[in-house]
Amino acid sequence: MDRNTVTGLILIFFIMMAWAFWAMPSEEDLQRQREERALQDSLAQLEQEFDQEFPEEREDFDPDRELLEDLPGIERELGEIVESPAAVGIFRMDDITDTTYTVIQTPRYTATFTNLGAGLSRYEFQNYNTWDQQPVQLIGDTTRSAYVLGFLSSENYNIETDQILFRQISPAGTIELNGNQSESLQYALELENGGSIVYTYTFHADRYAIDLDINIQGLQEHIIGNSVDFGWKPSLNFTELDRTQDGFYAGAHVYAGGVIEDLKIDGPGSDEMMINGTIDWVSTKTKFFAQIIKPEVETSAALISGEVDGPSDEQSTMYHYQSSIQSSIPADGTLSYQLYVGPLDYYELRDFHPTAFDMVEISYAWMRWFADPLVRWVIIPYFEYASNWITNFGLLIILFGVLVKLLLAPLTKKSFKSMAAMKELQPKMKEIQEEYKDNPKKQQEETIKLYRKAKVNPLGGCLPMLLQFPILITLWRYFQNSILLRQEDFLWASDLSAPDYILNLPIAIPFLGDQLAGFVLLMTASMVVQMKVSGGMSGGAAPSGGPNMKIFMYFMPVMLLFIFNNFAAGLSLYYLVYNVLSIAQQFLINKQLDKDKLKEAVEGGNDKKKRGRRRKKK
């Protein structure tokens, strides 16, 4: 590897480092965040101590409710007394006082519905576990419906249906679905003036999507503007061991007008975004799971909002994103929605809406033109198809690295030959540097002549990295967000979508952290060997006045160690495989290189040059 190659790679490194410094908060920001966090913790501690000492002073204190246990993941009649708030005007039913629960069980999930808000209050996956192997329960607040219908009443009350007890029309109990079965569940809010709001949920055993129809009759004059908001209110529970990663990828999204809008909050604070017009869908998500609302009626706007209560690098920080859609009540009074609560799986999301997978971060925006086709048409189909025969995803990644190497081999063959030739030319380059050490311009001219005689491209060594660079960026982003690799183990790595730390360091090193990942160490070692084989560390001297090239060659693997250490283990495994195959390819090319022909081309040119000098002397 020559100086130009190294210079290009170092420029790439410094660009990435500059981006990291730019995105990192200043010391003043960190200090302010720490002070705010300390203040919040102090207030929370005081409030907790006060509540424990004087529970009767709490606004939400209810001596009967304090005795109730949390709702478990199966159906349970608690006989709980929950009073509807007084400030809802006509939108209440005084004869409904008990909270009821109905459980929907399918091969994909177990969902608990409540009449407090007439909606979903608990959602547990059948096939996905948290990092500590507990079933994923996605809803942060299980006391009431996650879905909320909101509007302003003619009595000037801000109505939110998650505060209101509905009558359960369907029989309470457990509904089990299998195969292609479907079933419906109904709730009704029947008012004294004869008006009503009726919810009808339809569940399907073979999909995560749930159909919802909300029929509003006799209430148009009681709803100001004939306009309602329907949305998701509670936070989504985090599921990964590293909560900072869950928080980093959490957010709210709107798809409208062919464009996806994202709301992500990086530090303490809150924000919101209003999008007007026709809305395709809104969502909130964590790293691997999401809820999506897709309207099937005409819409006028969407609102997404978020709140973060602490620094993004702290495990205890809480993230709360909400999303809602605004619509006018149709003439027939029925608002229809499709609801998705499930994994960020490409095929599941594609079936729900063709653009829903856009919320998954598979690359930077400026590389989506390359990353989208690669992920959607190559990587995902490969893993989905190949996993039918090979169930270990570590082996699938190794095989994928082999396939990529075979695909790029014809393109990299010429550059590898150039690198092998450069290794053979290093002694001659050293002679030129010594001969013209006081004349840099002449040194450069003679070096270029040497390249031409040997038919060597000094920039050829950059091609393998340039070809790999967009693939690496795509795999870097996708492997960390891929539900396919989540909790898939290989050798010592328990989760290929997360770092495979094997060593603890006594101190935390900036950018590196306080742990070292196993596959990254092997990848770094493979890069050192590759540079040895390619000639990057063969001892050739640098041009006059230039730095020692060996320093740069050792700097490159260390640089990538810092960059890759906190990335997904699957990415480091892939790059390790690619490097090993590159070593084998370079070794074979070195053996096949016609060194005698290369020497003859160089020395033949030198002989002519010497004869020319002798004629001038005569």
CA distance 247 to 242: 9
Q: How many CA atoms lie within 13 A of 370 on its CB side?
A: 14
As given in the structure block, the two tokens for residue 365 are: 């925006």
Q: What per-residue confidence (pLDDT) applies to 442? A: 74
Residue with tokens 């407090």: 116
176: which strand partners? 105
β-sheet bridge partners, residue 291: 284, 341
Residue span(s) of the chain under CATH 2.70.98.90 come to 72-360
pLDDT of residue 553: 63
Give the pLDDT of residue 68: 34
Q: In terms of DSSP bridges, do strands 101-105 and 173-176 run parallel, antiparallel, or are they unpaired?
A: parallel
Residue 575 is given by DSSP the state: H
Question: Which pTM value belongs to this model?
Answer: 0.74
CATH architecture of the domain with residue range 72-360: Distorted Sandwich (2.70)
Residues of the chain with pLDDT under 70: 1-87, 411-426, 451, 453-468, 534-554, 592-618
DSSP per-residue string spanning 90-153 = TS--TT--B--EEEEE-SSEEEEEETBTTEEEEEEEEEEE-TTSPEEE-BS--SS-SEEEEEEB
pLDDT number for residue 546: 42
Q: How many CA atoms lie within 13 A of 383 on its CB side?
A: 25
What distances in angstroms separate CA 143 from CA 87, 116, 120, 234, 323, one per listed residue? 20, 8, 10, 10, 19
Per-residue pLDDT, 578 = 85
How far is 494 from 129, CA to CA, in rounded Å?
A: 13
Count of other CB atoms within 10 angstroms of residue 366:
8
> Cβ atoms within 10 A of the Cβ of 406, count?
10
CA angle 339, 344, 345 (to 5 degrees): 105
Q: Which amino acid is at 306?
A: G
Residue 184 near residue 202, CB atoms below 8 Å: yes
DSSP one-letter code for 314: -
- Write the CB contacts of 439 (distance below 8 Å, at least 6 apart in sequence): none
Phi and psi at 161, nearest 5°, equal: -70, -15
Q: What pLDDT was estimated at residue 474?
A: 84
Locate all alpha helices (DSSP H) within 438-536, ordered by sequence: 440-454, 462-481, 518-534
pLDDT in tens, 211-227: 999 999 988 888 998 89
* C-alpha–C-alpha distance, residues 178 and 109, integer Å: 11
Percent pLDDT > 90 in the chain is: 36
Side chain identity, residue 73 = G
pLDDT at 459: 57
Among residues 225, 231, 226, 227, which one has the least CA distance to residue 253? 231
User: Reduced to 3 states, what is the DSSP secondary structure of residue 561?
Assistant: helix
- pLDDT of amino acid 94: 73
β-strands 269-276, 299-308 pairing: antiparallel
Helices (H) and strands (E) in the chain, counts: 13, 22
pLDDT of residue 594: 54
Of 47, 82, 57, 54, which is closest to residue 68 (Cα–Cα)? 82
